[in-house]
Amino acid sequence: MIGALLFRDIRLATRAGGSAALALAFFAAVATLVPLGVGVDLKLLMRVAAGVLWVAAVLAALLSLDRLFQADFEDGSLDVIALSPLSLETVAAVKIAAHWLTTGLPLTLLSPLLGVMFGLPPEAVGVLTLSLATGTPAVSAMGAIGAALTMSIRRGGLILPLLVLPLLAPAVIFGAGAVQAALDGLSSGALLFLAAFAVVATLLSPFAAGAAVRLNLAG
């Protein structure tokens, strides 16, 4: 049953006009527009690359999170799922996994190309990719809490970033810091801090999201 729910959410996210394609397009568009505004100075582009790409990845992921629970809530599917043997915490964990597979993973796979476009050297591109692979699960996990809290609110997608972005500041700081350290040739523990943050967020978020869904369904 968990596999069926996972494949269902993946199918909905990747179908024509799905949120996954929109997130990728947004990520690529932001990364493409920044060099046009900053200029062609490769040294400057390298210095801002980590921050720009991390912020763009977080915003792109949030763009596809607002309907994580809301679509099922509006069409009544969530009520049926809540009556199934699966706990709401398990449902939340499955939805987080589906969101990362359809959004976080593609963003990570696209990042090396965009890193090269910013003039990052190979070692920095590798750290960028690794940091996104490590940190994007936390983005999906923390975003799921906001999506669960706002699922019954009309136009809740406008409130979602305000709730979630402050919680994701550590991921952006540690992710961009790791790339910056690689550029400067310095050793850094930023990746370890990012991994610790991601593990804690991924483990705890299903419980918070499940509680928020239960509260909304009860109301």
Local confidence pLDDT in tens for the 219 residues of the chain: 788 888 888 888 777 456 778 888 899 998 888 888 877 777 888 888 899 999 999 999 988 887 788 888 888 888 888 888 889 999 999 999 999 999 999 999 999 999 998 889 999 999 999 999 999 999 999 999 998 988 888 766 678 888 899 999 999 999 999 999 988 887 778 999 999 999 999 999 999 999 999 888 876
Give the start-end residues of each E strand in the chain: none
pLDDT for the residue numbered 183: 87
| Sequence-distant (≥ 6) Cβ neighbours of residue 169 within 8 angstroms | none
d(CA 145, CA 211): 9
18 near 12, Cβ under 8 Å? yes
Instruction: Look at the chain and report how many structural domains it folds into.
Output: 1
Element (DSSP H or E) covering residue 82: helix 77-82
The radius of gyration of the chain from alpha carbons, rounded to an integer in Å, stands at 18
**Residue 108 C-alpha from the chain's centroid:** 10
Q: Which residue carries 């990719």 as its tokens?
A: 129
Range of the domain at 208: 2-218
185: left (phi over 0), alpha (psi -120 to 50) or beta: left
Exposure string over 122-161, b if 16+ CB within 10 A, otherwise e: eebbebbbbbbbbbbbbbbbbbbbbbbbbbbeeebbeebb
> HSE-up of 70 (CA within 13 Å, CB side)?
19
